[in-house]
């Protein structure tokens, strides 16, 4: 029986955290490979891009009594990161599985995706979400009429 730790609920990306917890050496690579294979099977084609979003809770629909939802904004280039190996970009185009997994692992380390604050509260915490998709990264606002 798996023990649930408090730390497990403090991260935005629970799947990545659990995968690394199970296998500390190869957990992140296994996680991204599983996500890549799932997206390929679901979409019928391999992902062509990695999207990097800042995710935070926002208050929507105040006229309807209000509710909380996620707002997702792309990360853009920042001049102070010129010397970093991984640039602050919102879309990374990938051409094959090996490159995709390598880029995802670099993003996992660069953004410390395993140690992010929870965004389940209204404390203005921002998490970083990395997803595999196609095309360019765009802002995703919550539907005001949920």
Higher pLDDT: 62 or 11? It is 62
Q: What is the mean pLDDT of residues 28-47?
A: 92
The predicted pLDDT at position 81 comes to 45
CB-CB contact of 92 with 15 (8 Å): no
Q: What is the rounded distance in angstroms from the CA atom of residue 42 to the CA atom of residue 24?
A: 28
Where in the chain are the domains? 6-133
Q: What is the mean pLDDT of residues 17-42?
A: 90
Question: Most confidently modeled of 30-39, 78-87, 130-139?
Answer: 30-39
Q: What is the mean pLDDT of residues 79-104?
A: 75
Tokens of 2: 């798996």
Q: Residue 81 in 3-state DSSP?
A: helix
Listed in sequence order, the DSSP H helices in 10-140 are 14-22, 27-43, 97-110
Q: What is the mean pLDDT of residues 7-29?
A: 75
20 confidence band (pLDDT: 50, 70, 90): confident
Q: Residue 38 in 3-state DSSP?
A: helix
Q: What is the rounded distance in angstroms from the CA atom of residue 17 to the CA atom of residue 23?
A: 10
Q: What is the rounded distance in angstroms from the CA atom of residue 97 to the CA atom of residue 77?
A: 25
């Amino acid at each position: 029986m798996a023990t649930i730790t408090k730390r497990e609920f403090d991260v935005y990306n629970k799947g990545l955290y659990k995968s690394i917890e199970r296998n500390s050496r190869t957990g992140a690579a296994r996680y991204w490979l599983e996500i890549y294979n799932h997206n390929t099977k679901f979409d019928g084609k391999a992902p062509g891009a990695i999207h990097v979003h800042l995710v935070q809770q926002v208050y929507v629909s105040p006229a309807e009594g209000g509710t909380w939802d996620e707002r997702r904004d792309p990360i853009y280039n920042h001049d102070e990161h010129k010397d970093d190996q991984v640039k602050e970009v919102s879309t990374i185009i990938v051409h094959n599985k090996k490159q995709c997994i390598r880029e995802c692992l670099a993003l996992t380390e660069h953004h410390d995706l395993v140690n992010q604050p929870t965004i389940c509260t209204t404390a203005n915490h921002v998490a970083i979400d990395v997803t595999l998709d196609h095309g360019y990264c765009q802002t995703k606002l919550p539907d005001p009429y949920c």
